[in-house]
Amino acid sequence: MKKFRRLLSVIVIVAMFASMSIMVSAEQDALDGFKNLPYSDSIVYTPDGKVDGAYYENLQQKLINEFTYKNKNSITKSVLQREMQLSATHNTIPGDVYVSFTGTTSGIDFALVGHASLVETSGGVWCISSWPEKDGHVNGVQYEYNYWPGRNKIYGLRVTEGTSASRAAAVKAARDYVNTSPRIPYNWNFLNKFTTSSFYCSQLVWRCWKTAGIDIDRFPYDTVVSPAELTGSNMTVLFYVND
């Protein structure tokens, strides 16, 4: 009987290690799969000379899938946990970034590409972003009251290498842009992130941090910077989620 129990114990231990190895292997395979995301440092066209919309849609969806997978432990929350988080003090610091991915966030998003905004003040009372003329927003770079916490499908990002000096520099850049007269208009050419004569939302956030010396775009050398690319950057970490 003792020999049988020892044998059974050995079998159980071996099975546990085998199961753990399979889980680790599956985890690594999933992470490795994200290393081969489609990427080009120039605009991608179809054979007939049109911008390849399918390529960009595919890239954004893969980035969102990657972000969701890597942060699954933070994003998967019970209703109780979510309510506790929303009732807790929401601590933001200047230079933090809010993003969302879809057009289903109760008025925050204006398109399927999502929205992004830079926190301007301590405590996160005010943000700076860029909007088209829609839903009470004027056209271009503007202040917006921080109504992000409590909305659905919202993610807060903090720049990992951000120092007090670089955060101040990013916020200063945002203030300079928002106080420019005449107002800097909205950039409808999503494939031109390098212009500073107009901005879309995530482009503005990226440019402010770029001015501060930190590139928070997942693909620094391509021509577009989306909210999904900000979350996929190695320079940002998730500090808040309401999924």
Q: How far apart are CA 53 and CA 76, in angstroms?
A: 31
The whole-model pTM stands at 0.74
Q: Which helix (H) or strand (E) holds 83?
A: helix 79-87
- Summarised one tens digit per residue, pLDDT across range 54-72 is 777 777 777 777 777 776 6
Domain boundaries, the chain: 1-36, 72-242
Instruction: Reply yes or no on whether the pLDDT at 222 is more than 70.
Output: yes
Q: Picking from 79-83, 110-114, 123-127, 212-216, which range would have the lowest pLDDT averaged per residue?
A: 79-83
Structure tokens at 200: 């879309």
Q: How far apart are CA 38 and CA 173, in angstroms?
A: 31
More confident residue, 149 or 36: 149
- Determine how β-strand 140-145 pairs with β-strand 126-131: antiparallel
Q: Picking from 90-94, 133-137, 149-153, 195-199, which range would have the lowest pLDDT averaged per residue?
A: 149-153
At 216, is the pLDDT very low, low, confident or very high (cuts 50, 70, 90)?
A: very high
* Mean pLDDT, the chain, whole residue set: 75
Instruction: Return the CATH superfamily for domain 72-242.
Output: endopeptidase domain like (from Nostoc punctiforme) (3.90.1720.10)
- Max avg pLDDT among 14-18, 184-188, 226-230: 184-188
